[in-house]
Amino acid sequence: MSNLRERPVAPAGPKLGAGNSTADRAIDILLLFSEERPVWSAAELAAHFAMPRSTAYRYINSLRSYALIADDKSGSYRLGPRIFPLARVAKTTTSILSVSAAELHRLNDLYGEAVSLYQRVGDQIISLEHLESHHPVRITYPRAQMLPWPATASAKVLLAFADRADQEAIFRLIEPVRYTSRTITSRKALLKVLAKIRHDGYAFSDEECEEGVRAVAAPIFVRSEAPFNVTLSGLTFRLKDERIPEIAAAVRSTAANISAAIAATDY
């Protein structure tokens, strides 16, 4: 739908989104629904935003088509069922970021290396938080990173602690990708590595996704599942072999502390 410019009606209601687009206006309508005012009629929405009722109906129908709002028994509208899974995702992300922040910063300060918080969503690994390295020579990662094959420490640890049914589903969806000469591309070999990760409680990636980069990751548990992990990554010349056991212990401790913090909250 193209942008619409409505003739103002006095007295004017609150201004809509600054972009004046269909999306801006639809969002403004959604934001009106609250605990204090959970139900709105088309006439009330039109009056509130000083727009013709026909225009209000266009936005309402668009939101209804996505189940973001639904018809109320009174003939008005309330928030629709599609809102609830979105709210759960928002609550999960907000909760994990708030309870993990102090621990992530502590680990970042302790080693001066990049520290990330990842979540597995289906077959994708998404970065929720990333703290940059303190060193002048460092790696830069995008905030949302999705990998098609488990070559990073974060991807391997999340796959290792997924339940068997999820593992099988993921293996059916993904294809081996050789990022470097060290990438494990055999499913049989990768399964052995995943078993070792479950035994050790952490994953180690040695230039398997990017040459010159090493990383250690440990799972964060929410009840009996491990949908998140904390990862410390850095350049190989700083993450030397003799330092890996100490770093792995620190990453595991960080993940365990975050898991304990989650268990202590209403997560």
**Region label for 145, one of left (φ > 0), alpha (ψ between -120 and 50) or beta (otherwise):** beta
Give CA–CA dist 63/7, Å, rounded: 23
**CATH for the stretch 22-81:** 1.10.10.10
Q: Is the pLDDT of residue 243 over 60?
A: yes
121: helix, coil or strand?
A: strand
Which pLDDT value is given to residue 7? 28
Per-residue pLDDT, 70: 93
Cα–Cα distance between 226 and 179 in angstroms, integer?
26
Burial 9-33 (b: 16+ CB within 10 A, else e): eeeeeeebeeeeebeebbbbbeeeb
Q: 174: pLDDT confidence band, cut at 50, 70 and 90?
A: confident
The rounded distance, in Å, linking the Cα atoms of 202 and 249 is 9
Helix, strand, coil shares of the chain, percent, nearest 5, are 45, 20, 40
Give span(s): CATH 3.30.450.40, the chain.
85-263
Q: List where CATH 1.10.10.10 sits in the chain.
A: 22-81
Q: Does domain 85-263 have CATH number 3.30.450.40?
A: yes
Arithmetic mean of pLDDT over the chain = 85
The dihedral built from the CA positions of residue 163, 168, 174 and 179, taken in this order, carries a sign that is: positive
3 has pLDDT over 50: no
Distance of CA 175 to the CA centre of its chain: 23
| Residue 78 Cα distances to 23, 70, 135, angstroms | 18, 5, 51
What are 8-42's pLDDT values in tens digits? 333 333 444 444 567 888 899 999 998 889 999 99
The residue among 205 and 121 whose pLDDT is bigger is 205
d(CA 158, CA 192): 15
Range of weakest confidence among 79-83, 86-90, 101-105: 86-90
